[in-house]
Structure 1
Amino acid sequence: MHAIQYEVTLPADYDMTVIRDRVARLGHLLDSWDGLGFKAYLMRERGVDGSPVNQYAPFYLWNTVEGMNSFLWGGPFQGLVNDFGRPVVQHWTGLAYEDGGAAGSPAEVAVRRRQPVPEGVELTEAMEEAVRETKRLASLDGVVGAAAAVDARHWEIVHFSLWSGSSPKASGEVFQVLHLSEPERGSLPRGRQW
């Protein structure tokens, strides 16, 4: 399992209906993409849920490298690059995924929390703690799904959760979910990934 996310930060006065309309028009194109567990089309608006910025920031969990690569190099990503420039694509290796009790319900919000893996900590314990946190998040009321992944280049763990209600019970950056493509979410491996 691989997680990726890119962030397109927009001017403070940007009309975010442009992003909403874009997702409404194009979001369905990944609803049957091979190798894609899910893509959460995420947006933050300046001043909403504590966001300091206007931002389009989709988050993906991939079942296969081939699916991810065909998305990035095979065309659809180029459309975003053509419209907004080429963003940095953050990449994490999957540690864990769990369905929540609200799996199957529409996801309304997502929460992303990044945490550094400090120098000197036992890596096995840090990764096991990320797995435990994924299980804890998935057990909370309203959770559609929860994941953890690690970037071993920058030693950062990302915790990501999708929520069926608009009041998530997790700390982190809150995003609006504009659309959820989930062609292979049922095939994402559950639990610890090693």
Structure 2
Amino acid sequence: MQAMRYDITLPTDYDMTIIRDRVMKTGYLMDGFKGLLFKLFLISEKKNGDYYNSYSPLYIWKNSEGMSQFIFDGYFDNILRSFGWQHIEIGVTSSIELSDDFTQSQFMTEEKQDILPTDTLKNFDIHEKATEGETGKVVIYNPDKWQKVIFTFYLTKPQTELRCFEILHLSNGEN
């Protein structure tokens, strides 16, 4: 599985109801998308104590065919037309742990960890387990950047120093 994400930084005075309305009107269009495990429509808002305003969707793909279809068959063009050229981050999914109430998640944190140079990667842990109060955890790694990223999901907003996103909508892919 692969993870795909783009982080669209928006001005501090940007009216975030524009994004909320956009997701409310069109988020369902990703439901049942071929090759998709799930997509989270994420935002952060400076006024709520976040680092900055952003629209930052996270996709977990079952295969690269669905991801390629999304990018190159016109679906990503909606982002390009609305927000301009975007850098898409791609990572290899190393572990996914989702609880029964994962689909009720309202918030997600992102923790980035550098994978430092070493003479062996044999014992490097690319997995994480969800703990109490968490509805799931997805771990990806990116050998191009030598980085491990941990996405953790919650029903309520956690008290944390990590970057935190509000989940506006969750689309489940094809069954």
Shared fold per TM-score greater than 0.5: yes
RMSD, matched Cα:
1.7
Percent of pairs identical after alignment? 31
Structure 1: runs of 5+ lacking an equivalent: 188-194
**Contact 1:102 1:142 survives alignment (8 Å):** no
Check the 8 A contact 1:19/1:56 in 2, yes or no: yes
- Pairing 1:1-194 to 2, within 5 Å after superposition: 1-48=1-48, 50-100=49-99, 102-104=101-103, 106-120=104-118, 122-126=120-124, 129-131=125-127, 134-135=128-129, 138-143=130-135, 145-167=136-158, 172-184=162-174
- 8 Å CA contact 1:40–1:59 kept in 2: the answer is yes
Query: 1:5 is matched by which residue type in structure 2?
Result: R
How many residues align? The count is: 175
State how far apart, in whole Å, the 2-side matches of 1:3 and 1:150 are. 9
Whichever structure has more helix as a proportion of its residues is 1
CA contact (8 A) 2:36 2:67 kept: yes
Secondary structure at the counterpart of residue 34 of structure 2? coil
Question: What is the one-letter code of the residue matched to 1:122?
Answer: T
Q: What's the offset of the Cα at 1:163? A: 1.5
The Cα of 1:103 is off from its aligned counterpart by: 3.1
Give the Cα separation in 2 of the matches to 1:142 and 1:157: 19
SS in 2 for 1:130: coil
Distance in structure 2 (CA, Å) of the matches to 1:101 and 1:24: 24
Give TM-score scaled by structure 2 length: 0.93
Preserved CA contact (<8 Å) 1:100 1:139: no
